[in-house]
Amino acid sequence: MVVMKFGGTSVGSALRMKEVSRIVDTGEQVLVVLSAVSGTTNSLVEINDAFSSGDKKKGISLIEKLEEKYHQLVNELYNSDSYKTAGTEIIRVHFDLLRSFAENGFTQKQAFEILAQGELISTQLFYQLLLEEGKKAALLNALDFMRIDEEGEPQMDYLREHIKPLLEKNKETFLITQGFICRNPKGEIANLRRGGSDYSASLIGAAINVSEIQIWTDIDGMHNNDPRIVNDTYPIRNLSFDEAAELAYFGAKILHPSSVNPARTAGIPVRLKNTMQPEAEGTLISAISDRDTIKAVAAKDKITAIRIVSNRMLLAYGFLRKVFEVFERYKTPIDMISTSEVAVSITIDNDQFLDGILTELKEIANVEIDYDLTIICVVGDNLLEHSGFGAKIFESLKEVPVRMVSFGGSKNNVSLLIHSSEKVRALNMLHAGLFKKELA
């Protein structure tokens, strides 16, 4: 069996949903994981914001605007009146529920329930479409098998145990389920965080040991550079799990960063495909990848750098532990690190607890801070030992001031920290230096 996950734009209109129905029709049993229709989760976030700030009127008007979009979708999606009626009924049930939240006092629990409606609606509408087309389909409720623990980590054992019986019971060719949504340890509705449908697909694929996990989006695979910023980028045909994980984390928005892990652990290849161009090869992420090559460049913005300088660090041990403990206390992950004998520079992308972190760091050292930085990450195979790669990277970037470098942390990644105002220039220079064939 194959898992096929479709993102919001892939199910963003009646036309697109019908295309998905054709794509999943491969002659084999498939498990289809769907996101919410594009724009829906963002609207649900706005509705939440309105309700939580007490602005019921705004909340209701946002709900009505969104509902209108769905009525149009239902009208275009189905041919027969009976399916149009069924679709309209699905919309009514979910939008009545959304409206009911305006009345009962608004809590965090309800916020999660609101966010879940997008996937609950898209999967039901798609299920009805397959039925109208005469396909043998079944709808599985992700809330019956997806669960996170207290830390927000998905529970693989629970997933395996609870999805197996469902697969034994439902032998239909097309099995459909929701991405993104799950339950928390109390059994309440929760989610795998924004963009989490990819993660759902990977977790499910790993749990039932499929032959391939396919992530269908609106771009033809992971590109070797940011196509919005650089001309002549191209999709990378093969990536190793490690390379893909680095790229997904560092800005290649096409794949949720956590979603590589379950697939890697289970040894299941992940294929990135384009719904708009189904015949395009896309990108295959697997244990196999081209050796000794630079594959791609990616960038991650909104980075803050902290330089921690202390004479006490000189010839001392235990200093770094004290530094790291501060970040641990504030549950703030560190991205890049670089050290000298008297200073250590660290970057973070989540500055929610920055004030607390700085206050504590100042008790043990002098602290300098820089905002508006971008990490440029060069990804490939064997970047360290292959002589000349380092020189090539720095040569390409020679006009761009580099604030920090991380080389040697992984064989698959060289990271450079620059000011965000230099990003466009840096990505283009690296593109010219690393990927353009030299002119004869």
Q: Residue 439 corresponds to which amino acid? A: L
Question: Should residue 35 be labelled a site residue for ligand ASP when binding is judged by CB under 6 A?
Answer: yes
Among 59, 195, 257, 282, binds Mg ion (CB under 5 A): 195
In angstroms, what CA-CA distances link 211 with 172, 174, 187, 202? 18, 16, 31, 12
Q: Which CB sits closer to ligand ASP, 245 or 313? A: 245
| Minimum distance, C-beta of residue 313 to ligand ASP, in the bound complex (Å) | 42
Choices 111-119, 190-198, 240-248, 280-288 (CB under 5 A): range interacting with Mg ion: 190-198
Among 12, 87, 196, 221, binds ligand ASP (CB under 6 A): 196
Decide: helix, strand or coil at residue 205.
helix
Q: Which CB sits closer to Mg ion, 128 or 283? A: 283
Q: Which CB sits closer to ligand ASP, 128 or 191? A: 191
Choices 33-41, 95-103, 125-133, 137-145 (CB under 6 A): range interacting with ligand ASP: 33-41
Q: Which residue is nearest to Mg ion (CB)?
A: 195
Alpha carbon distance 302, 288 (integer Å): 33
Decide: helix, strand or coil at residue 219.
coil
In angstroms, what CA-CA distances link 423 with 8, 277, 373, 376, 406? 28, 30, 9, 8, 17
Question: Should residue 202 be labelled a site residue for ligand ASP when binding is judged by CB under 6 A?
Answer: no
| Minimum distance, C-beta of residue 37 to ligand ASP, in the bound complex (Å) | 9
Question: Should residue 195 be labelled a site residue for ligand ASP when binding is judged by CB under 6 A?
Answer: yes
In angstroms, what CA-CA distances link 201 with 25, 34, 85, 111? 18, 9, 30, 23
Alpha carbon distance 207, 280 (integer Å): 28
Give the residue carrying structure tokens 């972190």.
357
| Minimum distance, C-beta of residue 197 to Mg ion, in the bound complex (Å) | 6
**Chosen from Mg ion, ligand ASP, none, partner binding at 51 (C-beta under 5 to 8 Å by type):** none
Choices 131-139, 191-199, 206-214, 244-252 (CB under 6 A): range interacting with ligand ASP: 191-199
Task: Report H helices in 255-400.
Answer: 260-266, 319-329, 354-362, 389-396
305 phi/psi in degrees, rounded to 5: -110, 140
**Chosen from ligand ASP, Mg ion, none, partner binding at 180 (C-beta under 5 to 8 Å by type):** ligand ASP
- Judged by CB under 6 A, how many residues of this single chain contact ligand ASP? 12
Token duo for residue 64: 């009505």
- Residue 145: CB atoms within 10 A of its CB come to 24
**Chosen from ligand ASP, Mg ion, none, partner binding at 59 (C-beta under 5 to 8 Å by type):** none
260 touches 244 (CB < 8 A): yes
Which residues form the interface with Mg ion (CB under 5 A)? 7, 195
Which residues form the interface with ligand ASP (CB under 6 A)? 7-8, 35-36, 41, 118, 179-180, 194-197
